[in-house]
Structure 1
């Protein structure tokens, strides 16, 4: 991945992840966060694990990002875009599993 590609991934990630690391961590500690998402055999959902990884990535300096970090950033962008395209529920989006799943991935769809 060249420097232009990396910049593009960082820009897309910054746009998709609209929650601060502390806000993500706080949400990940909630019961709403823990009960949504696809579980891969263990107790933690894929999105919950992703949220922890997003916090790590957001706290790194740009020069410390690894190829694995960039791959995860691309995965996050794809997830957020796909789920936003599906649209949220017509009523009570604030308390929906759709919103909570997105928040596990660092995106609050109700945030301006």
Structure 2
């Protein structure tokens, strides 16, 4: 289990790298899964990891489970490794941007 100080740091890091609101992420997950004829149900849109991030965004820190904490570490590590948090992204990196958005990080958002 994670101690309180480590959890505080993780909570801050997670909310720093996940810069989309829960409604923005929910909308993105639905849009990214939609095709010409159908749109998935909101609770089933997107990859499981994106759905888990959405669930965490809707929780209080005291309600986190061990699975949530694992996902938070994974998201912080992935976004930190794949996103250039210091520089503007190139506009031609659409696929890369969409992958990060599925984790709740929009590189084009200030």
Write the distance in 2 (CA, Å) between the matches of 1:17 and 1:89: 16
CA deviations over 1:49-108 (Å, ceiling 9, x no partner): 2111111011112111111111110000011011114x8874534xx1010000001000
Which residue of structure 2 aligns with residue 38 of structure 1?
Answer: none
Higher helix share: 1
Once the two structures are TM-superposed, the CA of residue 34 in structure 1 deviates from its matched residue by: 3.8
Coordinate RMSD, CA, aligned? 2.2
Which residue does 1:107 correspond to in 2?
105
What TM-score do you get using the length of structure 1 for normalisation?
0.77
TM-score when normalising by structure 2: 0.78
Structure 1 stretches lacking a partner, 5+ long: 36-46
Partner of 2:92: 92
Find runs of 4+ consecutive structure 1 residues off by over 2 angstroms.
87-93
Structure 1 residues 20 and 90, CA gap change in structure 2 (3 angstroms): closer
Q: Is the Cα contact below 8 Å between 1:25 and 1:55 reproduced in 2?
A: yes
Matches within 5 A, 1:66-85: 66-85=65-84
- Contact 2:88-2:108 within 8 A present in 1 as well: no
